[in-house]
Amino acid sequence: MDPQRFVVQIPQNAREPVVLVEDFGLAGPQYDANTNTRSDRVVRCRLDQKRWRQIATPLKTAFNERLRSRKMAAGKWTTGDNPVHRLLGREMCVLAWAIESCDADLVSSAIDAWIGLRPEERWWLYSMAVHATGRAEDIDKGWRKAIRIGLTEGAGAVDADNKRQISFEDL
């Protein structure tokens, strides 16, 4: 497993939030300009249990499809610490950031729009947001706000069955 990873901390107590943590592992401490410190771990998002339950199954389904396509074991969410590959963790953050402060009735739109994105597009969104607004307390600022609006309200929800194919005629 890649030494850098994400950890999804799912508490037993339903009143406590689910916490998404980026763990830099062997890559070593990363400099944080906001706090002027170096840290091995950064809390990227906190979601209440209700919101987590709304995205847990779509995340698990999308990630397990990709893991199986690479002949890797499927994963599941359990109480406690759940390690997640660093690239899948970035994709997960994009969806979590989109729903962390949106109206409850927009969560399904965010899920559909997220499913309609390619992994590379999710990674790009993550990289745009993480440097300036990547800490859990940076809710609804900058790129995080753009991700929320884009996935919950932007251009109507993307159809989950929409398989994008680009041909030279489209360019």
Q: What is the pLDDT of residues 110-119, one digit of tens each?
A: 999 999 999 9
The share of the chain scoring above pLDDT 70, in percent, equals 81
User: Residue 131's closest CA among 14, 34, 7, 47?
Assistant: 34
Residue for token digits 């890559």?
Answer: 27
Q: Are 100 and 48 in contact (CB under 8 A)?
A: no
**Distance in angstroms (rounded) separating the CA atoms of residues 8 and 11:** 10
pTM above 0.85, yes or no: no
Tell me, what's the pLDDT at 26? 65
* φ, ψ at 10 (rounded to 5°): -105, 110
**Distance in angstroms (rounded) separating the CA atoms of residues 8 and 5:** 10
Tell me, what's the pLDDT at 90? 97
